[in-house]
């Protein structure tokens, strides 16, 4: 069975600090996708990134970066120079990939509440 663990529940930082959100996953599949979603106070779920299990390259998008390490089953998310607008709940998620390449369900972690203080 799939499982996503986000051990941190709440993180509070001061604006301009860097912050890393941890994600550890479990799956028996060799092919899978990993995701990060952001849920701001308004409540919607905003897609941030998708990574497939064969691509371990780190990715950077502006102030956001992701570190994928299959050896430790981790997919961590770092926000550099955090801003108040980054305050939200962040979810890591995992999905299997069927042998046909088709989608399967997303399994979410419990989420990390990030508060960025001015």
Partner 1 sequence: DAGVIQSPRHEVTEMGQEVTLRCKPISGHDYLFWYRQTMMRGLELLIYFNNNVPIDDSGMPEDRFSAKMPNASFSTLKIQPSEPRDSAVYFCASSLWGYGYTFGSGTRLTVV
Pairing relationship of beta strands 3-5 and 24-26 according to DSSP bridges: antiparallel
Residue 25 backbone dihedrals phi, psi, to 5 degrees:
-130, 160
- CB-nearer residue toward partner 1: 80 or 115: 115
Least separation, in Å, of the C-beta of 72 and partner 1? Answer: 23
- CB-nearer residue toward partner 1: 93 or 116: 93
Interface ranges with partner 1 (CB under 8 A): 35, 37, 43-45, 47, 50, 91, 95, 97, 101-103, 105-111
- CB-nearer residue toward partner 1: 37 or 68: 37
């Amino acid at each position: 069975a799939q499982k996503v663990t986000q051990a941190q529940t709440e993180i509070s930082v001061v604006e301009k600090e860097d912050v890393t959100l941890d994600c550890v996953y479990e799956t028996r599949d060799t092919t899978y996708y990993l995701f990060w979603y952001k849920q701001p106070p308004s409540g919607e779920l905003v897609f941030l990134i998708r990574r497939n299990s064969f691509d371990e390259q780190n990715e950077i998008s502006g102030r956001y970066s992701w570190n994928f390490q299959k050896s430790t089953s981790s997919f961590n998310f770092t926000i550099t120079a955090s801003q108040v607008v980054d305050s939200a709940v962040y979810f890591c998620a995992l999905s299997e990939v069927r042998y046909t390449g088709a989608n399967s369900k997303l399994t979410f972690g419990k989420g990390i509440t990030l508060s960025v203080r001015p």
